[in-house]
């Protein structure tokens, strides 16, 4: 599949934003973080900015962005519509959380309920995003039990590192926050390795013209190209990444998304403010950059069976 930069930005930014929103909502509800004005303003503002920028980026990817609102009407059958509905609905409790925390300086009562509801809405939205890809049988790399958990785990991972950077900057981070960030990063790393191993082990025999057409007893081959010029299908679904480039980008993902952030978090746990804050911010930024590469590979390494029609 052709990696679209708008969708890469959407899945990276909104995933981190929803992860941060969910964590802030839950921690505020249980009283773990203080209802400080600037902490709430910057934290919730960052989360909603990432979410909104990601959603706008995804809308810009549509052929007719002005008709994006129509996607909401297909929620009965489309995971894309369900994602849109969940994303819009999540703004309501998130907005109430902002009002209670930032304007009223409280995180108890109805504000705590809003935080919990916003966290649930964030999780549902990320789940729907993962299901958009996991529900596509023609793409074996996506239609697997690894896709949806990957979206949820990596959203929690990037959100936790953003939370740690935020709390470290204000000097109010409990000791368990960077530890949680390190554990989430290691979990995300392990899940990514397992996903790549699963995808690399997919049988190539199932990706043949014979298997796609169901014809047996001989070799099915194309004797003439369907058309003489490249079309939308080839541009969007016939993209191929060279094996050597994929291997190099995987190494970059290992280092930037997981290894280096883990080392920075470990160093932050051994230092005090403000060094710990600087290291935590670097860990979050490096991880977001690494996850952008991971998202690019997520699309570039996916193979759609329609490409068999064109002899690929």
**Range of weakest confidence among 33-37, 183-187, 215-219:** 215-219
N-terminal to C-terminal alpha carbon distance within the chain? 13
Out of 48-62, 166-180, 224-238, 290-304, the most confident range is 166-180
Q: Output the CA–CA distances (angstroms, integers) from residue 40 to 28, 231, 288, in the order listed.
A: 9, 49, 22
Asked whether the predicted pLDDT for residue 120 surpasses 80, the reply is: yes
Residues 202-219 have pLDDT tens digits of 875 455 666 666 666 677
What does the pLDDT average to over 68-84?
Answer: 79
Q: What percent of the chain has pLDDT over 90?
A: 57
Q: How far apart are CA 154 and CA 138, in angstroms?
A: 24
What does the pLDDT average to over 92-115?
Answer: 94
Task: Name the 3-class secondary structure at 139.
Answer: strand
Q: How far apart are CA 54 and CA 14, in angstroms?
A: 5
DSSP states of 46-86 as a string? HHHHHHHHHHHHHHHTSSSGGGGGGGGGGTTT-HHHHHHHH
Q: How far apart are CA 71 and CA 82, in angstroms?
A: 9
What does the pLDDT average to over 109-133?
Answer: 95
Q: How far apart are CA 65 and CA 59, in angstroms?
A: 6
Residue 114, pLDDT score: 95
Tokens 């129509």 locate to: 70
Residue spans of the domains in the chain: they are 5-220+229-310
CB atoms closer than 10 angstroms to residue 249: 17
| Structural contact between residues 264 and 283, judged by C-beta atoms closer than 8 angstroms | yes
Confidence band for 309, pLDDT divided at 50, 70 and 90: low
Residue 292, pLDDT score: 94
Residue 73, pLDDT score: 73
| Structural contact between residues 18 and 125, judged by C-beta atoms closer than 8 angstroms | yes
**Range of weakest confidence among 163-172, 238-247, 282-291:** 238-247
Domain 5-220+229-310 - what CATH class? mainly alpha
Residue 139, pLDDT score: 83
When the pLDDT of each residue in the chain is averaged and rounded to a whole number, the result is: 86
């Amino acid at each position: 599949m052709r990696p679209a930069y708008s969708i890469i930005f959407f899945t990276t930014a909104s995933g981190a934003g929803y992860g941060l929103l969910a964590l802030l909502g839950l921690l505020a509800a249980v009283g773990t973080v203080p209802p400080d004005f600037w902490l709430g303003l910057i934290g919730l503002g960052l989360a909603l900015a990432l979410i909104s920028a990601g959603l706008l980026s995804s809308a810009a990817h549509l052929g007719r962005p002005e008709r994006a609102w129509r996607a909401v009407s297909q929620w009965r059958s489309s995971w894309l519509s369900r994602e849109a509905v969940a994303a819009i609905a999540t703004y309501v409790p998130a907005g109430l959380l902002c009002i209670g925390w930032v304007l009223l300086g409280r995180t108890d009562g109805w504000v705590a309920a809003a935080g919990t509801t916003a966290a649930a809405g964030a999780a549902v939205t990320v789940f729907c995003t993962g299901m958009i890809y996991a529900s596509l049988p023609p793409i074996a790399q996506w239609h697997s039990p690894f896709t949806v958990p990957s979206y949820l785990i990596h959203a929690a991972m990037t959100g936790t590192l953003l939370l740690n950077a935020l709390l470290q900057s204000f000097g109010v981070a409990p000791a368990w926050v960077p530890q949680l960030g390190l554990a989430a990063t290691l979990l995300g790393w392990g899940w990514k390795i397992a996903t790549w191993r699963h995808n690399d082990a997919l049988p190539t025999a199932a990706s043949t013209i014979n298997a796609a057409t169901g014809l047996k007893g001989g070799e099915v081959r194309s004797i003439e190209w369907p058309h003489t010029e490249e079309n939308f299908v080839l541009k969007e679904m016939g993209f191929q990444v060279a094996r050597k480039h994929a291997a190099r980008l995987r190494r970059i993902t290992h280092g930037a998304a997981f290894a280096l952030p883990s080392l920075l978090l470990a160093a932050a746990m051994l230092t005090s403010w403000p060094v710990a804050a600087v290291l935590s911010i670097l860990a979050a930024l490096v991880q977001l950059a690494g996850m952008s590469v991971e998202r690019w590979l997520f699309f570039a390494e996916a193979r759609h069976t329609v490409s068999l029609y064109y002899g690929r």
